[in-house]
Amino acid sequence: MQESRSTTPIVIVHGGAWSGISFQRDARADGAKHAAIVGWKRLEETGNAIDAAEAAVCSLEDDPIFDAGTGSVLNSSGHIEMDAVIMDGATLNSGGVACVRNIKNPVTLARKVMENTHHCLLVGEGANQFAEKVGIHTIPEEQLLSELSVTKLKLCEGNYGDRVGHAFKAKNVKKTHEHAKGEHDTVGAVVIDAHGNVAAATSTGGITAKMAGRVGDSPLIGLGCYGDNVTGGVSCTGHGESIMKVHLASRIIMYMDAGLGPKDAAEKALDYMYDRTEGAGGVIVLDNKGNFGVHYTTGYMAWACIRDNKLHHGISGHENHTEELPQNMA
């Protein structure tokens, strides 16, 4: 185990990478900022990075504008199956759930897997049975449904292969930034507390019209998420199959280990993913010194970050707006 060290606390979140129409951008931007503030408040209360990462992701899961928890998209059978993971950078312990159903906050269940079992991942019926055992009760699927998710499935009828297989294929992404239309509202958070401990978490409802039982990158450490006190933390969003093929989170950590900063590591890894798979996506990255990087090869990705009592946020292009936190927050 690494010794703890003093560092500047930081919370960063994302609300998923997407391309195409932008009518939801204000709601997603507000949701990301709110989640960052929720995570920051939790960090002030407990001083614990894991608590803050869980709280921030729960906020995103509770917001029906995002594809995680409430608002999760529907699979090809018309049901919701969710994935989530959380990782402790001090110990490298992690917990994940996949294809879990009827759970309001999958990230909280993932934390229970990390802290109450010897396993890293539970799936399907077994994950739901474990949820009941640890006191996380199921809720009716209707409580997780949003009108937007129902609409998305209707729009995919008769277009299953194109929707799932190519929705995130970018066209000449480095030259023209023209992208296939699609969404992947996977949410995530990365946190460093004052002791230098890193936590990372990712949660998703997956891709609209996915096959029942499909699992993407999100609940798998090194793919959709990674946290390590020695280097930093990453949460990913985008075309899951592409992310899995290049081990995106681990690749970014590897680039930072080789000396790149968070922003450069993110750009290099997403360029590599496009070169090898034509897949698009986005990431939030922290190094162990509290520096952050944000990059995405889709049209939009709502993100927000709090450090030094300042809120940084953006949603498209190279936006990085900065504002002071309210006095009662600072």
Distance CA 104, CA 227 (A): 24
Distance CA 135, CA 85 (A): 18
Q: Which two tokens stand for residue 82?
A: 């969710």
Active-site annotation, residues: 186
Asked if residues 113 and 130 have their Cβ atoms less than 8 Å apart, the reply is yes
β-bridge mates for residue 183, sequence order = 18
DSSP states along 87-117: EETTT--EEEEEEE-S-S-HHHHHHHHHHHS
User: What does DSSP say about strands 121-123 and 94-100: parallel, antiparallel, or unpaired?
Assistant: parallel
Torsion from C-alpha of 194, 202, 220, 139, nearest 10 degrees:
120
